[in-house]
């Protein structure tokens, strides 16, 4: 809950600041105590909270699905098995509808992306003050750190480093299979011989740099749009939860109204977090399908 002694601006900035570890300007390594120190650490700094929750949620996903697989039965299935089977069937239908090539990697990757991104987004439904408050108390009691200097963002998908990391991984796979399936010459041809083409060699020579510019921009737009769409939607949702949480410090009337707003936004946000996971997965499947299409398939 927002502290009365803390300004609204300070409260928002505190919740939007990652727990950062890196090298300080004087050469020693440690955690940043404020946004300025985190910025001074530069590119090599690590957002510990993003890494922690990303790995933890990934392990939860593996544990749940492994548990369902280990206890799978042909008799009357339990609730977990029913859920996992429904998710797997849903992913399988999505892949069959969007992916026309042959690659045993695509379906497992789509399943991993959907569940992993959904779990990351789901953390946005946890009240914004709960886990950061626990982290602040642990930091104060165990390490003697001022709770206001303990930062703990719990929604990895509100960190562009996480969304860009996932999109770049998809982008690298797309490039790899584009070259593997089409050959380097075929992939280069896609970038230089489309969309403008001519049988006249002189005109074709003129079109090649234009085509390359257009196709290269389109190629780079894929990981950018994939990452920024997820990041932007989740960041906006988190910001709304933070603004609603500030209402609790304004008295019981404002707090009660804030509680109704929080409930309404949380219900609506369930659709958003699911939709964003689905969009990220679907675009990944589409990009992989494009990587497997040869010139005959265009």
Q: Which tens digits make up the pLDDT trace of 221-272?
A: 999 999 999 999 999 999 999 999 999 988 899 999 999 999 999 999 999 9
Residue 93: inside a domain, yes or no? yes
Residue 257: inside a domain, yes or no? yes
- Catalytic residue ranges: 225, 229, 233
Total structural domains within the chain:
1
pTM of the prediction?
0.93
Contact predicate 222/174, CB 8 Å? yes
Residue 256: inside a domain, yes or no? yes
Q: Give the ranges where 123-251 is alpha helix by DSSP (H).
A: 130-143, 160-192, 201-246
Residue 273: inside a domain, yes or no? yes
Q: What is the pLDDT of residue 291?
A: 95
Contact predicate 96/128, CB 8 Å? no
Contact predicate 68/58, CB 8 Å? no
For the four alpha carbons of 123, 124, 127 and 131, in that order, the dihedral sign comes to positive
Q: What residues does 30 pair with on adjacent strands?
A: 22
**Domain region containing 248:** 8-297
Residue 1: inside a domain, yes or no? no
Contact predicate 213/220, CB 8 Å? no
Q: What is the pLDDT of residue 6?
A: 67
Other CB atoms within a 10 A radius of the CB of residue 205 amount to: 10
Q: What residues does 31 pair with on adjacent strands?
A: 21
pLDDT at 4 over 70: no
Residue 130: inside a domain, yes or no? yes
Residue 2: inside a domain, yes or no? no
Residue 287: inside a domain, yes or no? yes
268 in helix, strand or coil? helix
Q: Which helix (H) or strand (E) holds 12?
A: helix 8-16
- Residue 3: pLDDT band (50, 70, 90) is very low
Q: List Cβ neighbours of 267 (8 Å cut-off, separation of 6 or more).
A: none
């Amino acid at each position: 809950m927002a502290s009365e002694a803390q300004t609204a601006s300070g409260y928002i900035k505190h919740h939007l600041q990652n727990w950062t570890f890196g090298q300080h300007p004087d050469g020693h390594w440690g955690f940043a105590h404020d946004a300025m120190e985190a910025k001074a650490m530069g590119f090599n700094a690590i957002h510990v909270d993003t890494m922690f929750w990303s790995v933890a949620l990934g392990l939860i996903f593996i544990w749940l699905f492994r548990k369902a697989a280990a206890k799978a039965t042909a008799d009357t299935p339990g609730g977990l098995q029913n859920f996992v089977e429904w998710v797997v069937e849903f992913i399988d239908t999505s892949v069959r509808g969007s992916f026309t090539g042959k690659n045993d990697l695509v379906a497992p990757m789509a399943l991993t992306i959907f569940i992993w991104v959904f779990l990351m987004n789901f953390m946005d439904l946890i009240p914004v003050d709960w886990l950061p408050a626990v982290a602040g108390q642990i930091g104060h009691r165990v390490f003697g750190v001022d709770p206001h200097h303990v930062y703990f963002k719990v929604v990895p998908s509100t960190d562009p480093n996480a969304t860009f990391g996932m999109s770049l991984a998809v982008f690298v796979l797309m490039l790899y299979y584009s070259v593997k399936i089409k050959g380097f010459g075929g992939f280069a041809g896609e970038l230089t011989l489309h969309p403008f083409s001519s049988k006249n060699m002189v005109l074709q020579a003129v079109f090649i740099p234009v085509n390359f510019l257009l196709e290269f921009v389109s190629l780079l737009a894929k990981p950018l749009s994939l990452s920024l769409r997820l990041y932007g939607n989740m960041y906006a949702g988190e910001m709304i939860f933070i603004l609603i949480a500030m209402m609790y410090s304004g008295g019981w009337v404002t707090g009660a109204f804030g509680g109704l707003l929080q409930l309404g936004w949380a219900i609506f946000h369930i659709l958003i977090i699911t939709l964003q996971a689905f969009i990220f997965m679907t675009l990944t499947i589409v990009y992989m399908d494009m990587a497997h299409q040869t010139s005959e398939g265009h």
